[in-house]
Amino acid sequence: MSSFDDRVDLLSDDEAKAAFEDALRARAASYAMLQRLFAKELDQDYLDQMTSMRLKASTGNDKVDRAYRLLSSFLGSRWERTLTELAVDYSKVFIGSGKSAYEAAYPFESVYLGEERRLMQEPRDEVLAEYRAAGLAKLDSFLDCEDHVAAEFEFMRVLAQRTLEGYRAGEADRAVELLEVQRRFIREHLARWLPKLSADMQKFAQSDFYRFLALYSEGFLETDSEFLDDVLEEN
Amino acid sequence: MTDNIERLVGAMPGTRGLLFGIMEFCREAKEPAQVDAYVTEQLQFYTSVHSPVEFRSFLEKAGALDFLPAEAPEDGADELEEAGTDGQRDSDDATGGTDAAEEKVYATDFPVDEDGFLIPAPERAGLWQTSEQGRAYLAGIDYQKRFDELLSADPPLSGIYYLILELCSDEPQSIDELDAQLKAPLAAVGSKKHAGFFVELLEGYDALKWEKKWKTTTVGRELLAARKEE
């Protein structure tokens, strides 16, 4: 019997099962938010949604705590040009002017783990293989490469959602397999380059919003890794 | 050390005048709302997407502005005071900020509700004042020396620079108005340059500012006065 099955057995209490299901739902939602925030500039609708979020002061992860304080501060100082301000900062942080490979936090795994900070290197082929193995393909509407951080977070979101659905359906083995894939993907991809991307984002960002995103993405990945290790009982 | 202020000003050339203006405005401690009102009014003359709060934040992180808490919290009051007044927030990156400094601030001044969630809009109560570093930075700028260097680059055009300062001192001028008035003087020194060339340089040297039209600054008036004394 897998460790996940054990976990399910341990969670025979309805309340505990509901809490575990909440945790699975929350991590899927977090990956969805990360995908959205990295994919494109903020719009009014999403800004309004973020404004209504409740941010825990103490989460147990220092980076997430600092990120939430930055976000709280940022949301508290919104003004009429906030969206323009953020669009400019998004461009500064992720796009730059293209003069060199070191003047922005280019959000591609190939840039950070490939040769000479270039696009379309081996890491892109590796994540593409992972997507295909999961039966996924990039939408034509998403114009960036497969190893864009938003694509990698979307991959995690899809798998997290499948895990949630599997758990709800009582398919424990399927859920374990999916969690194992997610843990491996974090270890082999996201955890190897996201901290570097986060450091660059903090270097180039002028708004607290993108400093929040840098710290939050790094902190959340740490907590999710711990969650996966805990659930799969492999620390 | 004023390196971070220099770096910030260098990184934001389009709002150099505004950054200096905020530092001058805050020589006497001001309420956050007063600073924001000043910046909001000035923003009509600058092309910037940054909010008044962001400008405060940039200057604070660069060490040019101090935040003086109205009432220091009991726990960690000394730390907050220290972070706000002696330049502890200096950073290698003018728009960055050290983790240690950020933690000091965040550890004490973010309100939390009874359920442990952050309460949004945590405007700190207190005053903003130009720091010692900010004052030292402003005092260290030798406007006359910088201007002399500009003039020495092309001595035949010296008179044109002064003429523009004179014209914009009497009454703010549009670029078209300046072009019309500079036509003959420029022809006299054999220059084919237009007013825009001079105006851009004079603005960068803090002698002119744009307020819907070009206007001579206090620095520009002092440069003019110094020349008349010669």
Q: What is the pLDDT of residue B102?
A: 41
* Residue that has been written with the tokens 């938003």 in this structure: A150
Given CA atoms A80, A83, A89, A95 in this order, what sign does their dihedral have? negative
Instruction: Report mean pLDDT in 10-residue bins for chain B, 230 residues.
Output: 91 92 96 92 87 90 93 46 34 39 45 78 80 96 95 94 96 96 95 95 94 95 91
Residue with tokens 């660069």: B62
Instruction: Output the six-digit token pair for A90.
Output: 């998004």
State pLDDT tens for residues A88-143: 999 999 998 777 778 899 999 999 998 778 888 899 999 999 999 999 988 888 88
* C-beta separation of A34 from A190 below 8 A: no
Q: Which residues of A are less than 8 Å from B19 in CB distance?
A: none
Residues paired with residue B128 on neighbouring β-strands, in sequence order: B30, B67
Q: Does B114 touch chain A (CB under 8 A)?
A: no
Q: Do A72 and B120 touch (CB under 8 A)?
A: yes
Q: How confident is the model at residue A191 (pLDDT cuts 50, 70, 90)?
A: very high
Residues of A in contact with B50 (CB under 8 A): 85, 206
Give pTM, 2 decimals. 0.69
The whole-number pLDDT of residue B20 equals 96
Q: Using DSSP, state whether A197 is helix, strand or coil.
A: helix
Of A75, A79, A84, the CB nearest to B120: A75
Using an 8 Å CB-CB cutoff, list chain B residues near A72. Answer: 110, 118-120, 122
B46 DSSP 8-state letter: S
Take residue B219 and report the two structure tokens written for it.
């620095």
Would you state the pLDDT for residue B123? Answer: 65
Contact B29, B116 (CB under 8 A): no
Which residues from chain B sit within 8 angstroms of residue A210, using beta carbons?
Answer: none
Tell me whether residues B122 and A206 touch, CB distance under 8 A: no
B117 touches A at CB < 8 Å: yes
Tens of pLDDT, residues A192-216: 999 999 999 999 998 899 999 999 9
B58 touches chain A (CB under 8 A): yes
Which of B49, B53, B58, B67 has the most A C-beta neighbours within 10 Å, making it the best mutation to test the interface with A? B49
Please list the residues that pair with B118 across neighbouring strands: B112
**Interface mutation target, options A48, A54, A70, A73, chain B, most CBs of B under 10 Å:** A73
Compute the distance between CA of residue B213 and CA of residue B174 in angstroms, rounded to an integer. 5
Q: Is the CB of residue A216 less than 8 Å from the CB of residue A67?
A: yes
Euclidean distance between CA atoms B68 and B82, whole angstroms: 10
Contact B122 A82 (CB under 8 A): no
Q: Which residues contact B197 (CB under 8 A, 6 or more apart)?
A: none
This complex has an ipTM of 0.70
As a dihedral over the C-alpha atoms of residue A7, residue A35, residue A47, residue A85, rounded to 10 degrees, the angle is 140
Residue B85 has phi, psi (to 5 degrees) of -125, -20
Nearest-CA distance from B216 to chain A in Å? 29
Q: All domains of chain B, ordered by start, with CATH? A: 3-70+104-139 (1.10.10), 143-229 (1.10.10.10)
DSSP strands (E only) in chain B:
65-69, 126-130, 208-211, 213-216
Other residues' Cβ atoms within 10 Å of the Cβ of residue A105: 26
Angle between helices A149-168 and A122-133 (to 10 degrees): 20
